[in-house]
């Protein structure tokens, strides 16, 4: 894990300030391995780290944990001048800290750099610790990443891609005839990526391609081909006078969620709407509000557009926050959390944070609170879309009677309380694991006997299948009451935590299991011919089975198929994995396609993996050999 702390875990970490009000330390990054050994990350590796008394700000961590990205104005490289207050992007990897926020010539930017959508300022006006960009700006192995550089001198900020071989490419350059290679005339902003940084979405108010309007908009940069494409769903959508554009996309790119002021599908109306582009066309999702900071679709081009929305693994389920009244609710201008299911019938939007017994909202619901701006957006939906976590000030169950924000989970069509509902201080959502079995939240309540810190904030894990009794701390003792009572020497009775019940407790479920049938050669042959792979999974109880297939396509590892289905009882679940067009083309082009298939069961953690190689049929191979070049 990577931690940010002011503590001097390393003896050489001496950046502290002594004042009449006390001693203050500066924030630094530490990387901790599985044995608990800590490595100081935000330091120089070619000499002593300067004691400049400025914070380092965490910018991102690669999903495999090998690379840590951070910004600081400390001179951790010979190319940086001390005392400027300008932050630059650094990467720690394999024990080495390297300045990576540089231009094509390897020079740092005059006004600093940032990873993804972070801040170039060492002291942002908000005073926060740096917004985390959900790690969408880095590849899974940390070898490739997107960052912005501010050249100063009145020039616009540009976006850059560093590739695995260390070369740097400016991806916000114009590809318009007569202007090829010119930097964007207006500030370029990173808004997201798919396929492990195979496609990077960016935003600019400049006309960077021939088919883009004068006011620019959203663009998609293919990192394999270097081609920049105008990606707005509608040419009329520009960034001049209103918000809109890309919000989120599934890893395979089949589902792209975006906002537009145009009526692009039946059901749309009002000033701003959320849509999804699917393989079968554009669908209306929900109304949105021009005042939504949760979808980050405010006026202006520099605002990232995915700050408080999340997707299921296959992209068919979308969790978002808006103040607009949706799903038949009167929100009274309050923000609520909604779930859109692309697999559902028309109007598949559910307000998961709304009281089912009331038609109006009395509290605000969020994925992260206003004061949680220095945290990444929580993974508030399980990979299979069956569980959604959120925080709200509205009491959705009778046990919630404290009138402040509490954490809830929406599952099986109902919201249930996760935090105590009785604490005088708010509780906040932190994160949830992909399988939905572990939900992390912060609270000042003492929910287990070990929590005796008199109401300080702590992180808890609400774990599916594990008892979590509510335990109040003992009242302070006085006089002889502080003497311990004699304990008889007898066998211990059943611990109270095994039988305790109450609001927020997670009732243990029966032990579950599942078995994935082997993929026969006949099934592989049929899949190569039809483009669909049949999979059978035996489960011994209720739950949702999800499967995904991954393959290397055009030099990139990509999700090429996914499917999920619920089981109400012990049964055999049959899934059909439809290969993407890119995967089928790869099979025809090369004659074979190696698939890595992962299968998960919502009632159990982890996943099972299988591999199978599909081989093109003779007819396909013959067609491939006889196809004229260039086609």
Residue 319 CB partners (closer than 8 Å, separation 6+): 309, 310, 311, 337, 338, 339, 340, 352, 367, 380, 381, 388
- Classified as helix, coil or strand, 328 is coil
Segment holding 620, helix H or strand E: helix 618-626
* Contact (Cβ atoms closer than 8 angstroms) between residue 496 and residue 469: yes
Tokens of 128: 């926060």
Give me the pLDDT at residue 475, please.
Answer: 43
Q: What distance separates the 2 farthest-apart alpha carbons in the chain?
A: 95
| Nearest 10 degrees: Cα torsion 432, 437, 442, 446 | 180
- Token pair 């009794």: residue: 469
- Classified as helix, coil or strand, 99 is strand
Residue 606 CB coordination number (10 Å):
12
Letter string b/e over residues 306-331, b meaning 16 or more CB atoms within 10 A of that residue's CB: bbbbbbbbbbbbbbbbbbbbbbebeb
Cα 381 from Cα 431, distance rounded (Å): 9
Residue 350 CB coordination number (10 Å):
18
Tokens of 615: 């081989």
Strand runs labelled E in 482-570: 514-516, 532-539, 543-553, 556-567
Tokens of 384: 């299979």
Residue 379 CB partners (closer than 8 Å, separation 6+): 310, 431, 432, 433, 434
* CATH code matching the domain that covers 514-626, chosen among 2.60.40, 1.10.1740, 2.40.128, 1.10.3470: 2.60.40
The backbone region for 55, taken as left when phi is positive above 0, alpha when psi lies in -120 to 50, beta otherwise, is: beta
**What is the mean pLDDT for each group of 10 consecutive residues in the chain (631 residues)?**
84 72 76 89 89 82 90 93 91 95 96 77 31 70 94 92 96 96 92 87 90 86 95 53 65 84 83 85 85 44 53 92 83 88 83 86 81 67 94 94 94 93 90 92 89 86 70 45 40 35 43 80 88 90 84 75 84 90 87 87 73 79 48 36
* Contact (Cβ atoms closer than 8 angstroms) between residue 420 and residue 445: yes
- Token pair 């299948």: residue: 465
Give me the pLDDT at residue 371, please.
Answer: 55
- Classified as helix, coil or strand, 538 is strand
Quick one: how many helices (H) and strands (E) in the chain? 3, 39
Residue 323 CB partners (closer than 8 Å, separation 6+): 289, 291, 292, 294, 331, 333, 334, 335, 336
Provide the terminal-to-terminal Cα distance of the chain, rounded to the nearest Å. 48
Backbone dihedral angles phi then psi of residue 597, each to the nearest 5 degrees: -110, 125
> Crossing angle, helix 581-590 and helix 618-626, to 10 degrees?
80
* Contact (Cβ atoms closer than 8 angstroms) between residue 288 and residue 273: yes
Give me the pLDDT at residue 128, please.
Answer: 32
Residue 180 CB partners (closer than 8 Å, separation 6+): 173, 174
- Classified as helix, coil or strand, 584 is helix
The backbone region for 51, taken as left when phi is positive above 0, alpha when psi lies in -120 to 50, beta otherwise, is: beta
Domain extents in the chain: 1-170, 308-474, 514-626
pTM of the model: 0.65
Give me the pLDDT at residue 303, please.
Answer: 37
Cα 180 from Cα 174, distance rounded (Å): 5
Q: Nearest to residue 338, comparing CAs of 289, 328, 327, 358?
A: 327
Strand partners, 415: 410
Strand runs labelled E in 477-542: 514-516, 532-539
Report in angstroms the alpha-carbon separations of 629 from 70, 227, 559: 47, 21, 28
If you ran DSSP here, which 8-state letter would residue 85 be given?
A: -
Give me the pLDDT at residue 145, please.
Answer: 96
Cα 291 from Cα 377, distance rounded (Å): 19
Q: Give Cα 81 to chain centroid, integer Å.
A: 34
Q: Nearest to residue 468, comparing CAs of 416, 423, 506?
A: 506
Residue 244 CB partners (closer than 8 Å, separation 6+): 237, 258, 259, 260, 261, 272, 297
Report in angstroms the alpha-carbon separations of 5 from 38, 97, 366, 382, 385: 12, 18, 27, 29, 34
Cα 325 from Cα 332, distance rounded (Å): 8
Letter string b/e over residues 384-415, b meaning 16 or more CB atoms within 10 A of that residue's CB: bbbbbbbbbbbbbbebbebeebbbbbbbeeeb
């Amino acid at each position: 894990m990577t931690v940010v702390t002011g503590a001097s875990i390393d003896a050489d970490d001496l950046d502290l300030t002594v004042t009449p009000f006390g001693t203050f330390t500066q924030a630094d990054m530490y990387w901790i391995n599985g044995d608990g050994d800590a490595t100081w990350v935000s330091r120089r590796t070619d000499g002593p780290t300067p004691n400049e008394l400025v914070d380092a700000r965490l910018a991102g961590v690669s999903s495999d944990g090998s690379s840590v990205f951070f910004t600081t104005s400390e001179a951790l490289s010979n190319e940086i001048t001390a005392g400027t207050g300008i932050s630059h992007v650094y990467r720690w990897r394999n024990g080495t800290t390297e300045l990576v926020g540089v231009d094509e010539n390897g020079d740092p930017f005059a006004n600093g750099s940032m990873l993804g959508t972070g801040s170039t300022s060492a002291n942002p006006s908000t005073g926060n610790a740096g917004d985390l960009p959900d790690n969408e700006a880095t590849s899974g192995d940390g070898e490739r990443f997107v960052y912005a550089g501010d050249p100063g001198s009145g020039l616009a900020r540009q976006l850059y891609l560093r590739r695995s071989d260390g070369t740097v490419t400016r991806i916000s350059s114009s590809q318009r005839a007569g202007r090829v290679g010119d930097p964007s005339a207006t500030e370029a902003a990173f808004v997201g990526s798919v396929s492990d940084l195979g496609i990077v979405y960016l935003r600019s108010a400049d006309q960077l391609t021939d088919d883009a309007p004068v006011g620019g908009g959203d663009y998609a940069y293919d990192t394999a081909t270097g081609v920049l494409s105008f990606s707005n769903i509608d040419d009329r959508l520009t960034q001049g006078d209103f918000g809109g554009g890309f919000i989120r996309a599934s890893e395979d790119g089949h589902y792209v969620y975006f906002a537009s002021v145009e009526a692009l599908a039946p059901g749309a109306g009002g000033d701003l709407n959320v849509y999804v582009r699917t393989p079968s066309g554009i669908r209306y999702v929900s109304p949105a509000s021009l005042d939504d900071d949760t979808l980050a679709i405010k006026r202006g081009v520099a605002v990232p557009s995915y700050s408080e929305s999340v997707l299921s693994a296959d992209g068919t389920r979308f969790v978002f926050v808006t103040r607009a009244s949706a799903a038949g609710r009167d929100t009274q201008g309050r923000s609520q959390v909604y779930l859109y299911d692309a697999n559902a019938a028309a109007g598949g939007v559910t307000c998961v944070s709304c009281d089912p017994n009331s038609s109006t909202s009395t509290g605000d619901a969020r994925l992260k609170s206003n004061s949680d701006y220095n945290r990444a957006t929580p993974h508030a939906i399980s990979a299979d879309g069956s569980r959604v976590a959120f925080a709200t000030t509205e009491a959705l169950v009778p046990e919630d009677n404290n009138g402040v924000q509490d954490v809830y989970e929406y599952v099986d069509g109902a919201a249930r309380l996760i935090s105590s509902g009785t604490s005088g201080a708010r509780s906040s959502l932190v994160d949830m694991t992909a399988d939905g079995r572990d939900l992390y939240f912060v609270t000042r309540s003492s929910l287990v006997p070990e929590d005796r810190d008199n109401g300080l904030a702590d992180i808890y894990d609400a774990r599916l299948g594990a008892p979590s009794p509510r335990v109040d701390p003992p009242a302070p003792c006085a006089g002889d009451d502080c003497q311990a009572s004699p304990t008889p020497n007898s066998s211990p009775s059943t611990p109270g935590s095994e039988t305790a019940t109450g609001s927020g407790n997670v009732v243990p479920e029966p032990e579950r299991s599942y078995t994935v049938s082997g993929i026969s050669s006949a099934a592989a042959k049929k899949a190569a011919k039809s483009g669909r792979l049949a999979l059978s999974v035996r489960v011994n109880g209720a739950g949702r089975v999800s499967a995904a297939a991954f393959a290397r396509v055009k030099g990139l590892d990509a999700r090429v198929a996914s499917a999920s289905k619920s089981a109400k009882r012990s049964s055999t679940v049959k899934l059909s994995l439809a290969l993407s067009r890119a995967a089928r083309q790869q099979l025809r082009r090369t004659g074979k396609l190696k698939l890595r298939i992962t299968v998960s069961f919502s009632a159990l953690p982890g996943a099972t993996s299988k591999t199978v190689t599909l081989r093109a049929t003779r007819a396909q191979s013959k067609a491939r050999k006889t196809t004229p070049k260039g086609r």
